[in-house]
Structure 1
């Protein structure tokens, strides 16, 4: 941790909200650093990890002062679990970033093996004479015109993890840009005044490296989903959603085991087996992240419920999480996410779809209850059916628009 931390009166709710947003960004950036082989993105992960260290220490201080009797301790124990889980996610993300920065060992051709659906992410510093300087993201209309999203902004050491239309860009801002690489080059040049230099992808030295990269992308998506659902379980105080986190954690464990087996087998087919050591580190860190997601929802699973401060923190974080069911006859029933332009029209990202009985994919959970099959990170062509449950993230206004399309009602706290 950089610098000393002293107790300062602070809102636990605000600290938890910032920790949630920071943890989610850390997962995204750390995996992007590995898949793209980017030292720049890996360095941003370590900067965020330092910030998380300070946040968790301040949160622990405030919670310790709040506990005055056994009843307080029982109520606050799950909150400490949420704080500890966010710290574990941060540490695991930092470990993933160090795979890149310390050259622990990764196949050089990973970038070449990336699925076409995976977007590129770059760091760009806004120069004073850029046409974007001094303008809001809404005024620039960057995502609509170019397809490039500003997923985070670092300004004077402070992070804005989910910039919105009213976010004004200032010279010196460090922007994290994500999107198609061709369009990304044009936006990067507008931001920095310098030409974007695409990294040349090496030829794969392992025949089925694509399968390994697909597994990494799946582990990333499932870990992110587990964390999102865990916060959703806390927000809705939902045992059913918490049980889905437990199911996902078990699936990530199985995926990690298979991935490690693949790495050991691949080691016998390359000249330098040590060059694959980073993949083992990556699998281990992924398991830590999914375990941390389970800790976030543990209070719900154990019948302790959700402390109001946690639910309020999730509500007031930069991105809200909503759970909606597609109603029969609604705009989404029988449509694809592209048909209704969900992301463009609402600003919401559907992060998962749990198939309902109508889709014919109901299975049995380990708890003996019927559960639908999860579609993780659904694509634009994913077709929705009446009875499907959507888990989505985005703005409060966007959540209302998505609810209208789904024909479902939002919790009144989101109104």
Structure 2
């Protein structure tokens, strides 16, 4: 393993560094779980490359913040910013540990592969060939997502990363593109870009009840941890105690799930021919719990009443997507209907990432969460929906709600 590159202080915009750390952390979560669920060594290698990039970013951020602190008031205001930097680094390390489940062949039961359809869309790594019909053209010119049903979520060009490709971003020969989409849409796109056939994962049928429960717990922990990170950045953007409290409730739920996961895994060990294959599951659970803890750290300044430093809010605002939290009103278009029936994503451009249904208790810990709502998810007055998308889309969604 080569030694890490030397790092020295250079003047840098803290806002820009924090914005890149946020985008990198969110991408790392996506890539690391996909690497495990799809058994992709290629995607796992991209995780480790991004983790190295995150190490440099966090060092730059810490040095810039130390240079900025001159008084006790500065220290008090900047302490939560250091917390955000440290939390993003923890997410990066946890994602790297998840990727190593694949690269170091730590082992996973077949039941983990069987959870694929309900966990995430497929993510694959594709290197653009010179003779590809996409080479030298922008994503907008190709109308890539509309034409293929697949999104380019990041591009690695040499040693540089393009984390938020836009319609103006071109695909160049030699680029490593990370593609995300439904399994049925990926093969023709992958083959057009690389000139090589796409290997479809073989379906697997799990057989042990306790192991299925343990895997289901891992998938739910993953979904809740991802949601907690989204909400944590929303909390610092809007200086919202309510969103920060949602993060705390999710983190508590992940802790409870991890406890149940441990019990189911220990029971399953008695029925598995080689219990060593369960090591990967234990590894995943620990790393996932670290991600939810990091989300809580991001929102800790808001929870403690210190507030959000303007530089953090501006950095989060630089993201292409915004997060909104709305309550379904009685008699609104969404009251008593499904997300699909109202074609929410098509009409607004917003993706509903979670629904919280109050159970009549004042404590959010007693509420019911649905962390991956789909077209069949039915909404009712009083439901709290959390959605991501453009600012224009947020206005359209508010009209529905």
Structure 2 matches for 1:170-249, cutoff 5 A? 170-201=172-203, 204=206, 206=208, 209-249=211-251
Distance in structure 2 (CA, Å) of the matches to 1:234 and 1:89: 17
Cα contact 1:96–1:285 (8 A) shared by 2: yes
- 1:123 & 1:106 partners in 2: Cα distance? 22
TM-score, normalising length from structure 1?
0.89
Q: Please give the root-mean-square deviation of Cα atoms over the aligned residues, in Å.
A: 2.2
Residue 266 of structure 1 pairs with residue 236 of structure 2: no
Q: Secondary structure at the match of 2:320?
A: coil
Structure-2 residue corresponding to 1:100: 102
Check if 1:365 corresponds to 2:353.
no
Please report how far the alpha carbon of residue 45 of structure 1 lies from its aligned counterpart in structure 2 after TM superposition.
0.7
Distance 1:215 1:364 in 2: 26
C-alpha contact 1:162 1:319 (8 A) present in aligned 2 = no
- 2:387 counterpart residue number: 392
Structure 1 residues 341 and 142: CA distance shift in structure 2, 3 A: farther
Instruction: State the distance in 1 between where 2:369 and 2:364 align.
Output: 15
8 A contact 1:256–1:286 mirrored in 2: no
Q: What is the deviation of 1:236?
A: 1.4
Is 1:376 the counterpart of 2:374 in the alignment?
A: no
Look up the match of 1:72.
Answer: 74
Residues 345-364 of structure 1: matches in 2 within 5 Å? Answer: 345-355=347-357, 361-364=359-362
Measured in 1, the distance between the counterparts of 2:137 and 2:232 equals 36
The TM-score with structure 2 as length reference comes to 0.92
Cross-structure match for 2:34: 32
Residue 162 to residue 214, structure 1, CA distance change in 2 (3 Å): farther
1:401 aligns with 2:396: yes
Q: Give secondary structure in 1 for the equivalent of 2:370.
A: strand
Aligned mates of 1:27, 1:117 — CA distance in 2: 13
Q: How does 1:289-308 map to 2 (within 5 A)?
A: 289-308=291-310
Count of residue correspondences = 399
Spell out, residue by residue over 1:120-176, the C-alpha distance to the aligned partner (whole angstroms, 9 max, x if none). 221111112222223332333333343322222222222222323333222222121
After superposing the two structures, state which structure 1 stretch, 131-140 or 60-69, moved more: 131-140
User: Displacement of 1:351 after TM fit?
Assistant: 1.2
1:339 alignment partner, one of 319, 331, 341: 341
Partner SS for 2:314: helix
Is the contact made by 2:134 and 2:171 (CA closer than 8 Å) also made in structure 1? yes
Call closer, same or farther: CA 1:326–1:204 in 2, change over 3 Å: closer
In structure 2, what is the Cα distance between the partners aligned to 1:24 and 1:168? Answer: 22
In 1, are the aligned partners of 2:210 and 2:267 still within 8 Å (CA)? no
Unaligned runs of 5+ in 2: none
Q: Distance in 2 between matches of 1:163 and 1:207?
A: 42
Q: Is this contact kept in 1: 2:348–2:397, CA < 8 A?
A: yes
- Residue 253 of structure 2 corresponds to which residue in structure 1? 251
Counterpart of 1:7?
A: 9
**Separation in 2, partners of 1:248, 1:180:** 28
User: Cα offset for 1:268?
Assistant: 1.6
1:236-290 CA-to-partner distances (Å, cap 9, x unmatched) read: 1111211111111110011111112222222221222112111111111111111
Q: Does the residue aligned with 1:163 lie in a helix, a strand or coil? A: coil
Give the CA deviation at 1:69: 0.5
> Quick check: 1:354–1:375 contact (8 Å CA) kept in 2?
yes
SS at match of 1:123: strand
Following superposition, the deviation at residue 53 of structure 1 comes to 0.4
Aligned counterpart, 1:320: 322
1:221/1:253 CA distance change after superposition, 3 Å? same
